[in-house]
Chains A and B, each alone.
Chain A
Amino acid sequence: MNVAVGTQEQARNDAYSLPLEKIDPANADRFQNDTIWPYFERLRREAPIHYTADSAYGPYWSVTKWNDIMAVDTNHEVFSSADGIVLATLESIRENEKIRGPRDRNAGGFISMDPPHHGPKRKTVTPVVAPDNLARMAPQVRERAGLILDSLPIGQEFDWVDRVSKELTAMTLATLFDFPFEDRRKLTYWSDMFTNAPGHGPARSWAHKKEAADECFGAFADLWNQRVNAEPSFDMISMLAHSPATRNMDPREYQGHVVLLIIGGNDTTRNTISGSVYALNRFPEQYAKLRANNGLVTSMVSETIRWQTPLAHMRRTALRDFDLKGHKIKEGDKVVMWYVSGNRDEDVIADPNAYIIDRERPRQHLSFGFGIHRCVGNRIAELQLQIIWEEIMKRFPDIRVAGEPTRTHSSFVKGYETLPVVIPARN
């Protein structure tokens, strides 16, 4: 533990001694070693709208306080998603262009589109995550959660990420796509191959990433062809293949939707499930509170979504020059909304670094974004978290974190590669 404390102290010293303009909050190394916090704290205090002139991502603005993030997120007329929603490294932009040619505007999934392109495409898939369908899916998610938990070893260390978080979310995603169930972990693998830079996660090189993308897009092209020639069914691929808004998409736009739905439907919930176990161990008095009152599962889920912030940021591009609280944002500038920082904004959230499962307004968090691009699958994410914890509480008095997790090397996906745990006993 002393090593970790020392690292955090060093990070605090570094964060406050660097010249402000040299701060590059998107540095992925700091997300991996969990030393981002003092940097964002300093930016919120001293430069809440901040410009990094030179970085691996090129120049970009950082918006780190709640109200400013809200102002950018709800102003889609100025802050466009059509040029992409992730702050990508210049290297990854170059490598992707080599493979697929220059990126067209509004050509990815609907999350990377502005109105009027965005709305009809988003609405194509929303029935799958609407209340009626969630109610239909809940018993199935519960049964699967039970089977996963019943298969876990007792008194023996194992990786929670692999055995539980990835497994449950892969099953749910396979159902949403009506993807071959036995191949479900390919979805997890492809997601990790899309989000990781070479040398991180399972990705070895750009060529390796391309190989995985080709395999993924090939499998999804087959699914499209199957569904388009069959009667419409209630899964996202069939809906995309039959809806007037999406059935004439070119392959590249379809691929953009596949990437969006795989990452959005997988990494986020996966990492929040892992984050819930980790947070309840970091804050044992909160775990005790939960054990004493199962009724707190719902608010614990929302608090975990805030505390974890499974997607650390969303990026926009200014469509015209814009004055954001006295800062001259120029047309074409990249603007990053750091949800991970807004969720720790002490002016809006009381005691924001603490994990408190019975907050007065637990749903007050930025993790789903706000405005027209607000997370479409938020309720199915909450449903999976709610159910897994209801089933955990029935079975296990304790899940004990047995060592520090390894974290994802990314300033976008804020998650865990591994989380060693021990379950000492069954109820």
Chain B
Amino acid sequence: MPKIKYIEHNGKEHVADVPEGWSVMEGAVKNMIPGIDADCGGACACATCHVFVDDPAMAAKIPPKTDMEETMLDFAPEIAPNSRLSCQIKVTKELDGLVVRMPQSQH
């Protein structure tokens, strides 16, 4: 099962085995990892599962943002070019070892 590492804003790390087909957001929420709120439940309709993907090689393995993801991120604070909504990242074998970092807070 792919391993995903979640790093809270305070630096605390959590590693979870996340089944393929789940989203990175689900991997956090279902493992009770704090820092990802996911208010809309994965509908790409808020921006409360915002994460940063620091490794460009990993980021390249994730399908590009849809217009809706771009738009929702555009309204969130603390946005960077490597920002993603974790509900839109589907876990695959290729994403084994993915590291996502969380912002100060989810808006």
Binding between chains A and B: yes
Mask for A126-137, Cβ within 8 A of B = 1, else 0? 110111100000
A308 to B44, CA, bound (A): 25
8 Å CB interface, A57-73 against B:
70, 73
Q: Which residue of B lies closest to A133 (CB)?
A: B77
- Is A243's CB within 8 Å of the partner chain B? no
Query: Is B1's CB within 8 Å of the partner chain A?
Result: no
Contact with B along A106-140 (1 / 0, CB 8 A): 00000000010001001100110111100000000
Contact of A372 among B39, B72, B77, B104 (CB under 8 A): B72
Q: Which residues of chain A are within 8 angstroms of B45 by Cβ–Cβ distance? A: 70, 73-74, 370-371, 374
Q: What residues of chain A lie closer than 8 Å to B71, measured between beta carbons?
A: 115, 119, 372
Q: Could you say which residues of chain B place their CB within 8 Å of the CB of A74?
A: 43-45, 68
Taking a contact as CB atoms under 8 Å apart, the answer to whether A379 and B75 are in contact is no
Check B77–A126 contact: CB distance below 8 A: yes
Assess whether A363 is in contact with B39, with CB atoms less than 8 Å apart.
yes
Across the interface, do A364 and B39 meet the contact criterion of CB distance under 8 Å?
Answer: yes
With an 8 A cutoff between CB atoms, is A32 at the interface?
no
Annotate B69-107 by CB proximity to A: 1 below 8 A, 0 otherwise.
Answer: 001101101100000000000000000000000011101
Does A35 make an interface contact (CB < 8 A)?
Answer: no
User: What B residues does A371 contact at CB under 8 A?
Assistant: 45, 72
CA distance A227 to B68 in the complex (A): 35
The residues of B that contact A127 with a CB separation of less than 8 Å are: 77
**Given A126-B77, A370-B46, do A364 and B107 touch, yes or no (CB 8 Å)?**
no
Flag whether B64 is at the interface (Cβ < 8 A).
no
State the CA gap A130–B107 with chains docked (Å).
Answer: 8
Cβ A364 vs Cβ B41 within 8 A: yes
* Chain A 363-378: CB-based contact to B (< 8 A → 1; otherwise 0): 1110010111010101
Residue of A nearest to B45 (CB): A370
A-B contact count (CB 8 A): 55
Instruction: Flag if B77 contacts A70 (CB, 8 Å).
Output: no
Once the chains are docked, how many angstroms separate the CA of A378 from the CA of B106?
Answer: 11
Are B40 and A372 closer than 8 Å at their CB atoms?
no
Q: With the chains together, A132 CA to B78 CA distance in Å?
A: 10
The answer to whether residues A70 and B74 also contact, given A370-B45, A370-B46 and a CB cut-off of 8 A, is no
Query: What's the Cα separation between A126 and B107 when bound, in Å?
Result: 10
User: Chain A residue with minimal CB distance to B37?
Assistant: A363
Q: Are A370 and B74 in contact (CB under 8 A)?
A: no
Q: Give the interface centre of A119, A126, A372, A374 by most chain B CB atoms within 10 Å.
A: A374
Residues B43 and A370 in contact, CB atoms below 8 Å apart: yes
- Chain B residue with minimal CB distance to A376? B75
Alpha-carbon distance A74/B68, docked complex (angstroms): 9
* Contact A372 B105, CB 8 Å, known A70-B43, A74-B68: no
Residues of chain B with a CB closer than 8 A to A364's CB: 39, 41
Q: Which residues of B contact A376 (CB under 8 A)?
A: 75
- Mask: chain B, 1-38; 1 = CB below 8 Å from A; 0 = not: 00000000000000000000000000000000000011
Q: What residue of chain B has the Cβ atom nearest to residue A119's Cβ?
A: B74
Among the interface residues A119, A122, A361, A370, which one has the most CB atoms of the partner chain B within 10 A? A370
Chain A 23-77 interface residues, beta-carbon cutoff 8 Å to B = 70, 73-74
A74-B68, A122-B75, A372-B72 are known contacts. Are A131 and B37 too (CB-CB below 8 A)?
A: no
Q: Looking across the interface, which residue of chain A has its beta carbon closest to that of B47?
A: A374
With a cutoff of 8 Å between Cβ atoms, the chain B residues found around residue A361 in the complex are 41
B46 neighbours in A (Cβ, 8 Å): 368, 370, 374
Contacts of A378 in B (CB 8 A): 107
B-chain residues with CB within 8 Å of residue A379 when the two chains form the complex:
105, 107
B77's partner among A119, A130, A374 (CB-CB below 8 A) is A130
Query: Please, how many angstroms separate the alpha-carbon atoms of A12 and B38 in the complex?
Result: 36
Q: Contact: A123 with B40, CB < 8 Å?
A: no
Min CB gap A63→B, angstroms: 15
- A123–B68 Cα distance when bound, in Å, is 17
The closest CB in chain A to the CB of B103 belongs to A131
Q: A408 CA to B37 CA in the complex, in Å?
A: 32
* 8 more A-B residue pairs beyond the given contacts A70-B40, A364-B41, with a C-beta to C-beta distance below 8 A: A74-B44, A123-B74, A127-B77, A130-B78, A131-B77, A365-B39, A368-B39, A371-B72
Residues of B that sit less than 8 Å from A by CB? 37-41, 43-46, 48, 68, 71-72, 74-75, 77-78, 103-105, 107
Contacts A/B (CB < 8 Å), 19 sampled: A70-B45, A73-B45, A74-B43, A74-B44, A119-B71, A122-B75, A126-B75, A130-B77, A363-B37, A363-B38, A365-B39, A368-B46, A370-B40, A370-B45, A371-B45, A371-B72, A372-B71, A378-B107, A379-B105
